[in-house]
Structure 1
Amino acid sequence: MGLEAPIVSAPMGGTAGGVLAAAVSRAGGLGMIGMGSSATAAKLTAELPHVSGLGRPFGIGLVHWVTAAEPELLEVALAARPALLAVSFGDDWSWVEEAHDVGVPVAAQVADVTGARRAVDAGVDVIVARGSEGGGHGEPRIGTLPLLAEVLDAVMVPVLAAGGIGSGRGLAAVLAAGASGAWLGTAFTTCTEASTSDAAREQLLRASGDETVTTRVFDIALEYPWPATLPERVLRNEFFDDFDGREELIDADARAEVAAAVAGEDYRVAPVNAGQGVGMVKESRSAAEVVERLSAEAELLLRRWC
C-alpha cells in the first residue's frame, strides 16, 4: 500500500472520522474511517470528503451486523475505493467477493486462530489479530501476543496485531514477533484530529491500564444490539460498579440516566472506550506526532535487539 510506517489507525466509531484518517495517512500510516454501531450511509458519505483527493491510501472500517441492516453502507464504502476495507464481527463473508470484484482488498478482526483460518478461507487479504487487551467491542478471549503468534503460524496472509499497543516498545514487540504492522486504537483517541470530546479526552489522559474493564452494561442500558459475545472494554466508572453482573437491574430509570450522561458528557456514568494501553497515552498530540514517535522508538529498539 506504499505505507511509510507499519501503523494502521483502528476504525473506532465516533472517534475515527475522516479528519483523523487523513492525518494518519498523511503521516505515512494507514488512516481508517470508523463506522460503528450507529453508522449510516449518510454518515459515511459525510466523512469521505476528508480523504478524497488525499493522494495517500486510506481505509474504511464497518461492523458486519450494521452493514447487514443497511446494505447501502457497503455500497458507499466500495464506491470510495479505499486501500483497505475492514468488515468485522460477522460470519457471512459474501462482502469479500463484492469488494474483490471492484479491486478493494479486505481485512477482518479475529479473536482466535479458528476465526483467522475461516477468514482466510473466505478470501480475506489481511487478518487483524485482536487481543483481549483491545478497547471497544470484541471477543476478549486471548492476549495479543499469544494470539498473534498462533495466527502467524496458521495463515499465510499479512497479519496486523491489535490490543494494548500504545508505545514504540509495544510496536517493536509485535513487529519482532512477525506482525506486518499494528492496528492502534487507544493511542489515537486523544489526538487533536480525533472526534473525542474534550471531557472524554481528559478521562483517557489520566487513566491507567488497570482502570479498564470489559462489560455489556452500557450496551444494555443504551439498547445497542451488540451480540452478547462482543462486550466492550471501557474505563471503569460508577455505572459499571452499580450494574456489572447485575444487568437485570438496568431499568428505564437507569437507561435514562446513561442517555442523559452521554448527552451531558458525564463520564461518571457514560462509557469511555479504552484498551489496556491507555496508561501509555499521556499527552494529546497530533496524529503525525504519534505515528512519528512510535515508529522512531520501534525502529531504534529493533536495531538494538537485532
Structure 2
Amino acid sequence: MRSWLTDEFEISVPVLSAPMAGVAGGRLAGAVSAAGGMGLIGVHPGASADWLAEQIGSAAAPGRPFGIGFIGWALSAAAPGQPDPDELLRVAIDARPAVISISFGEIADHVGPLHDAGIAVLTQAGNVDEALAADAVGVDIIVARGGEGGGHGRNEVATLPLLQEVLDAVDTPVLAAGGIGNRRGLAAVLAAGAHGALVGSAFLACPEAANPAEAKQAVVEARSTDTIYSRIFDLAQSLPWPPQYGGRALRNEVTRAWAGREDELARGGPAVVALADQLKSARQAGDVAFAAVYAGQAVGLVESARSAAEVVAEFAAADELLARLR
C-alpha cells in the first residue's frame, strides 16, 4: 500500500499514531513504527526534558522513523515553575525524528528551524482557514482533523467534508484524522485523496499505551455514541487551552453533572475548586467515573485490547478494500 507518506518516510502502512498526551509515550510510538506505521510521542504541558529524552530512547529503539508531537500554545512561553519549552524543542530536534507535529497554537516561528534540522513539520487543521494558514507558512503535512476526533481540537466540521475542502484548497500533502478506526476508514480517506491518516482512538487500548488499565477498559466498553465534546475538564482544572479547542472524551459523572454549565465553571468558586480536587484524586486513582478519558467517535470500533502491531495490521488490510477500486 503506497502513498506519498509511505514513500517519503519509508514506512509500509500510511498511518501515524496520534501524539496523545498521557497515552502516546515512547513505547507506543516505537511499537507503531516497528509494525510499519509511524508512531508519535505526545508531549504534555509540563513535561520535562529528561522525560522526553527517555521517551525518545524507547521510540527510536526499533530503528524506524518516529515523530514527536507538541501542543502549540504550550510552546509559546514557559509557565512559572514549568520546564522551558525551548529546552524541550532542543531535545526533540537533537533526536532528529522524521516528523515534529505542532498543533493548536502558533507554528510559523518553528517551521524554519525544524526544516534547517531536516525535520518535516506536521500540523492539524480543524477548518479550511487553519489549513490555508499552515500552507502559507510552509508546513510539510497538514492533517484535516474532523470534529469526530478524540482529545482536543475544533468541532466545526466532520472529517469527510473537511478533508474534501482541504484537499481542494492546498497543495501540501494532506492526512485525515477523526473517526478513522479500522481498515474501512483508512480506505475511505485514501480513496478520497488523502495520503494517509493520523489515528488516535484505535490505539487507546493497546498494552503499549501509557494510559491506566481502567481507561483502557472504559475504551473497550464504550460505544461510538458515548463521547461528548466540551471544555468541562479544561475549565475545571484551569488548563489554558484556547476556547476554540475543546476536547472529546467519554461521558462520565463529571460531564453529566456539568454539561451546559461551562460558564459556571469559568467563573470559578468553591464548587469548581472542589471539582478540581476531585478530578486530581480520580486521575491518580484511575477512577474513570470522574477522570477524563479522551476518545473519539471511532471508540466504538475498539472491541478488545490489541497490541499496536495488531492495530497497524488491521489498517494495512485497507489495501484489500482499495483493490476493488482498481
Paired with 2:63 and 2:49, the residues of 1 have a C-alpha distance of 23
Within the alignment, does 1:294 sit opposite 2:294 as a pair? Answer: no
Say whether 1:162 aligns with 2:177: yes
Cα contact 1:33–1:61 (8 A) shared by 2:
yes
Letter in 1 for 2:191: A
Deviation at 1:37, TM superposition (A): 2.9
**2:292 corresponds to 1:271:** yes
1:228-269 per-position Cα deviation (integer Å, ceiling 9, x unaligned): 111100000111111122131552212211111111111111
Q: Which residue of 2 aligns with 1:235?
A: 250
Q: CA deviation at 1:68?
A: 1.9
**SS of residue paired to 1:13:** coil
CA contact (8 A) 2:132 2:170 kept: yes
Structure 2: tracts of 5 or more residues without a match: 1-8, 78-84, 266-270
**In the alignment, does 2:239 pair up with 1:224?**
yes
Report how far residue 201 of structure 1 moved.
0.5
Aligned to 2:139: 124
TM-aligned CA deviation for residue 36 of structure 1: 2.4
User: After the TM superposition, which of the residue ranges 233-242 and 34-43 deviates more from structure 2?
Assistant: 34-43
Larger mean Cα displacement after TM superposition, 135-144 or 84-93? 84-93
Letter in 1 for 2:295: A
Secondary structure in 2 aligned to 1:141? coil
Counterpart residue identity of residue 18, structure 1: G
TM-score by length of structure 2 reads 0.91
2-side partners of 1:38 and 1:188: how far apart?
23
Please name the residue that 1:104 is paired with: 119
Hey, what's the Cα distance between the residues in 1 that align with 2:56 and 2:312? 22
> What displacement does 1:280 show?
0.3
Between 220-229 and 269-278, the greater mean CA deviation after superposition:
220-229
- Equivalent-residue separation in structure 1 for 2:107 and 2:120 (angstroms): 17
Pairing 1:1-306 to 2, within 5 Å after superposition: 1-69=9-77, 70-247=85-262, 248=264, 250-296=271-317, 298-306=318-326
How far off is 1:92 after superposition? 4.3
Shift of 1:274: 0.4
C-alpha contact (below 8 Å) 1:10/1:183 kept by paired residues: yes
Q: How big is the shift at 1:195? A: 0.7
Q: Which moved more, 1:125-134 or 1:31-40?
A: 31-40
The amino acid across from 1:232 in the alignment is G
Q: Deviations over 1:116-138 (max 9, x none)?
A: 11111101000011100000000
Provide the C-alpha distance between the structure 2 equivalents of 1:48 and 1:113, rounded to a whole number of angstroms. Answer: 32
Question: Does structure 1 retain, via aligned residues, the 8 Å contact 2:38–2:65?
Answer: yes
The aligned length equals 305
> What is the CA-CA distance between 1:98 and the residue it aligns to?
0.8
Question: Take 2:149 and 2:128, find their aligned partners in 1: how far apart are those partners?
Answer: 17
Amino acid at match of 2:324: R
Q: Structure 1 residue 155: deviation in Å?
A: 1.0
TM norm structure 1: 0.97
- Structure 1 residue 41, shift from structure 2 partner: 2.3
Whole-Å separation in 2 of the counterparts to 1:112 and 1:67: 22
